[in-house]
Amino acid sequence: MSGFDSTRVSLLLRLRNRTDQLSWQAFHQRYGELLFRYARKRGASATDAEDIVQDVEMYLFKAMEGFEYDAGKGRFRSYLRSAVIHAMGRRAAREAKQGTPLDPHSFDHLAARTDADNDAQWEHEWRMHRLRWALRSIAGEFEETTLQAFQLHVLAGRPVTETADEVGISKASVYQAKSRVLKRLRNCLQTLDPNNDV
């Protein structure tokens, strides 16, 4: 088990203690944004996405009592994806009972039957989550303009010219920032998360 895996498993095991607020805060800091962004990509409003994150964390809170880690039962990332889809399904069912019209294209809770590896939205959010998570670990190694250029161009998908103008650097510097930060991120993720299961 890698160092990161043992840290992640350690966090999950600490979550069994329902009174351990620091561990629950650490879980929310690590995964809350991922869950929120994925719910939004699946059509939830910002308010609903916040509620969905709380629902996922509440159900996890209930499920953690007696939790024992078993890697053979599946990847934690797949569990998180399914938890969001199920939370959206429960929300859609409640709204349907209340007579609120639902857009089936927005709340695609039936996609729970689809394997997580085939869910392009989840995979994109997972990759971005990993990059943001690793970027926090290495941020102190780069100048602010380098990080800003990387975030605007790579994470936000802004064009090179627009990024260069906004940060006040040359286009070549944007490319250089992208290359330097990506190289360091790859090394960081290979060390911290070799199994792609942050």
Q: What domains are there in the chain, each with its CATH number?
A: 1-117 (1.10.1740), 119-198 (1.10.10)
State how far the Cα of 49 lies from the Cα of 41, in Å rounded to an integer. Answer: 10
Q: How many CB atoms lie within 10 A of CB 5?
A: 18
| The pLDDT of residue 6 | 44
Q: Give the pair of three-digit tokens for residue 17.
A: 């203690």
Q: Which residues contact 68 (CB under 8 A, 6 or more apart)?
A: none
Whether the model pTM is above 0.75: no
Q: How many CB atoms lie within 10 A of CB 52?
A: 25
C-beta of residue 198 within 8 angstroms of C-beta of residue 11: no
Of the ranges 35-44, 83-92, 165-174, which one carries the lowest mean pLDDT score? 83-92
What's the gap between Cα 183 and its chain centre? 21
Which amino acid belongs to residue 90? Answer: R
pLDDT digit string, tens, across residues 81-116: 888 998 898 888 877 676 554 443 444 434 444 454
